[in-house]
Structure 1
C-alpha cells in the first residue's frame, strides 16, 4: 500500500495537508494559492505548491523562474510547474512507446500519434502522480495545488474512472493476451509493449489511491476562488454542486479583487461597478452559506512577488491558520431512494419549516427562505425527474425527486 489506511480501509492521517484551489480562469486563483503557500511556509510549515494550469502563471505570481521539478523559493517553500511531456519522458517512457505503437498499428501518422500518445486527461493526471509521489515520500507538511480552471479540475478529480474507460476502448483485447503479445514484440523488435502496459496499470492504481486521499476531508480541502461577477458566480455555484456531489470537501469561498467601497469617490468611473459588486457579494453569501467567505481587496496593482503576496494572505486569512480546515460539514448531497428517485439534501440551519418554499425550474432548484431567495444548480441528470415533496428536519432541507413514470 502506498498510504496507510484506517480501520474502515480509507486513508488515515498521512501527516500532510492538501489544499486545492480552483475557479474560473482569470479570477486570481494562482495568486490566492501562492499567497497561501507562502504564508504557510513563513508560519513554519514545509510547503510545496504544484501548478496544474497549462497557462503556468505560478512563476509570474512568485516572480521566479520555475521548472518541471520542485525547487526552493525561500525557506520551507518549494514550487513546481508540472509539465506533461517532461513527466512522460522521465517516468513513463515505456507507456509512451506502447501508445505510439498501438496508434501506428491503427494507421495514424507519426505526428498525430505523438500528440495522441498522451492519454486524455493525462496533464491533470501528471499533477496527481506528482502529488502521490510527494505524499509517499512524506516530505511536506502542506501541498497546495494551483489547479487548472474549474472544468479541468472536475476532470482531474474524476480522472481514474475516465481513464479506465478510455483504456478499455483503446485496448479492446484481453490483458494477458496483450502482455503476452507485448513480450513477443519486445523480443523481436525491442519495443517494450508489455512493460508499457504494466506502467499503465501502476499509474491507474496510483490515481485511484490519490483520489481516496483527495476525498478525505481531514486531509484535503478545496477552496473556490471567484470574483464578484455574474458569470463567475454561476460557474462557481455549478462547480460547488458537482464537488459536493462527488464527495469532495469545499471548506471556503475566496472572493478576490473586491474593490473597497470607501476608496471609491462618489460619481467616479467605478461607482456603478461598486453598486453591482455589492449585489453580487450578497448573492455569494446567500449561495454558499454557511461556508466561510474570505474577501480579498483589489490592491490596485498587479500582484506578483513576495511582498504583494503577503498582503493578499494577510487580507485573506488575517490571524487564521491557512492550513486549518475552515469548514468540515457537507452542505449539499444527493442520495438514491431505491428505484423511485433521489433525495437532495441541503444544509439550512436556523430555518423554520413554514418559511421555506421550494420550486424546480430546469437545472435549478429555487429555495425561498422568508424574504430571501437562493438558487441551487442541480446535477444534470435530475432534469429527468420531478420534484414531489420537501421536508425540513434538523437543519436539513430534504427535497424528493421521482421519475416522471413513477
Structure 2
C-alpha cells in the first residue's frame, strides 16, 4: 500500500491538491481513497459530493471519506471511553466534566491512525491520500503514538498484568478490564501505523506552500519537524502562482515579490523537487477541474509516484547532545558559513542564504562545532553551561 500525506498552512490548497492527486492515481487503475482528517472538512465540497464517516465511491477506483470523531469513538473505543469515565468518577470528578475529560488527547487525530490500520490490515486500497488538517494538527497526528503511550502510563500507572489478575476475582472489574484491553490494542495499532507512516518506501509527505512570507516560514518549520520525527518528504508544491506579465499596478508589485519567494522556496528546500501549480483563475470544484490540476502538477506521470527519495536533513542524538546533518550538493569544502539567531539557523554559501528553523528544544543547546565534508554539513549541538 502507498500513502501520501498533504500538509501545509490552512488555506494553502491541501484539499484540492490531495483530491486531484487521488483522482489522477485512480484513473490509472489504482484503488484509491482520499481521506480528510481536518475537522473543518471541505473535501466533499471540492468533489461536489456529500461524504460521510465511511468511504463513499466517487467513481471507479476512487473513494472519499471525511472522518467523524464521534462515529470513530463509537466504532473504535467505546470500552476505553467507559473506562475513562469510571476512572474520573472514582476520583470524584463531576459527571459532566468527566464526560469532557474522557475525550483522549489527540482523539480526533488518532481516529485517522485506526482507519489506516484497518485499511492496511484488510488491504482494501492501493493508495491512501490524506488531506490533513493545518500543519500544527498534522504534527500532532504524527507524534500521537508517543504522546498517547506517555499519557496512558501517567493515567494508569499500575501494571497491566496486575490489574488483569485482579479481574479474575472481581466480577465488577470486567468493564474496566475491557477498557484496558482496548487501550492496549489502540497503542499496538498506533505503533503499527506509525511504522507505515515512517517507512519512506510506503509513505511520502508533500508540503503545500503559497509564495508568501508567513506561509513559507510555516512550511520550513513543518519540514524541520517532519524530519525530526523521521517522516519522509518527497516534494514541495508551490500553489496559486499568478501568471507573469499579465498584471499591472498593485498586482505588478505582487508578481515581483512572488518571483522572489519562489526562488527562496526552491533554495530553502533544495534538493527536494519543487512543483509549481499556477492559479487557474477560478475556484476548483468538481472532477473536471481536479483532473486539470493533476495534469498541471504531474504531467503524464501518476500522482502517487515517488518524487524523491532524498533524506537531506537529519537530527540525531550523539555524545550528550545532538547532530544536525544536512546534504548540500554542489558546494566545496569551506564554502558554507553558519550563523544562528534564536531558533533560526542561517547558512551562507557565496551570495546565497538558506534558513532552517530549529526544533524548540535546541534552545537549550549551543553550537559546539561545524564540519563540512561535501556533500554533507554536520552541526554539533551541546548543552548550554548551567
The TM-score normalised by the length of structure 2 is 0.95
Aligned to 1:308: 289
Cα distance in 1 for partners of 2:182, 2:334 equals: 58
Match for 1:337 among 318, 321, 324?
Answer: 318
Query: Does 2:338 correspond to 1:355?
Result: no
Aligned to 1:10: none
Query: Does 2:205 correspond to 1:222?
Result: yes
Choose 314-323 or 251-260, whichever is displaced more. Answer: 314-323
Cα distance in 2 for partners of 1:148, 1:404 equals: 36
Aligned to 2:252: 271
Deviation for aligned residue 1:26: 1.2
Query: Does 2:273 correspond to 1:292?
Result: yes
Deviation for aligned residue 1:23: 0.8
Deviation for aligned residue 1:44: 1.1
Query: Does 2:374 correspond to 1:391?
Result: no
Task: Work out whether residues 183 and 194 of structure 1, in 8 Å CA contact, stay in contact via their aligned partners in 2.
Answer: no
Aligned to 2:97: 112
Distance 1:181 1:83, change over 3 A: farther
Match for 2:354 among 374, 382, 392?
Answer: 374
Q: Secondary structure at the match of 2:199?
A: coil
Task: Work out whether residues 234 and 273 of structure 2, in 8 Å CA contact, stay in contact via their aligned partners in 1.
Answer: yes
Choose 176-185 or 47-56, whichever is displaced more. Answer: 176-185
Cα distance in 2 for partners of 1:28, 1:56 equals: 13
Structure 1: give runs of 5+ residues left out of the alignment: 1-15
Aligned to 1:157: 142
Distance 1:183 1:102, change over 3 A: farther
Query: Does 2:271 correspond to 1:257?
Result: no
Deviation for aligned residue 1:118: 1.9
Aligned to 1:205: 188
What's the CA shift string for 1:55-100, capped at 9, x where partnerless? Answer: 1111111110000001111110011111111011123221121111
What's the CA shift string for 1:323-348, capped at 9, x where partnerless? Answer: 11111011111233323x32211110
What's the CA shift string for 1:262-282, capped at 9, x where partnerless? Answer: 3x2333x42222121111111
Task: Work out whether residues 48 and 285 of structure 2, in 8 Å CA contact, stay in contact via their aligned partners in 1.
Answer: yes
Query: Does 2:56 correspond to 1:52?
Result: no
Task: Work out whether residues 66 and 79 of structure 1, in 8 Å CA contact, stay in contact via their aligned partners in 2.
Answer: yes
Cα distance in 2 for partners of 1:206, 1:345 equals: 31
Deviation for aligned residue 1:171: 2.0
Cα distance in 2 for partners of 1:232, 1:50 equals: 24
Cα distance in 2 for partners of 1:178, 1:148 equals: 37
Structure 2: give runs of 5+ residues left out of the alignment: none
Cα distance in 2 for partners of 1:87, 1:334 equals: 35
Cα distance in 2 for partners of 1:360, 1:188 equals: 59
What's the CA shift string for 1:338-361, capped at 9, x where partnerless? Answer: 23x322111100011232111122
Aligned to 1:171: 156
Task: Work out whether residues 316 and 322 of structure 2, in 8 Å CA contact, stay in contact via their aligned partners in 1.
Answer: yes
Where has structure 1 moved over 3 Å in runs of 4 or more? 176-185
Choose 205-214 or 97-106, whichever is displaced more. Answer: 97-106
State how many pairs are aligned. 386
Match for 1:240 among 217, 223, 227?
Answer: 223
Q: Secondary structure at the match of 2:41?
A: coil
Task: Work out whether residues 256 and 296 of structure 1, in 8 Å CA contact, stay in contact via their aligned partners in 2.
Answer: yes
Cα distance in 1 for partners of 2:80, 2:382 equals: 46
Task: Work out whether residues 180 and 194 of structure 1, in 8 Å CA contact, stay in contact via their aligned partners in 2.
Answer: no
Give the root-mean-square deviation of aligned CA atoms.
1.7
Match for 1:144 among 90, 115, 129?
Answer: 129
What's the CA shift string for 1:17-45, capped at 9, x where partnerless? Answer: 00011111111101110110011101111
Task: Work out whether residues 272 and 310 of structure 2, in 8 Å CA contact, stay in contact via their aligned partners in 1.
Answer: no
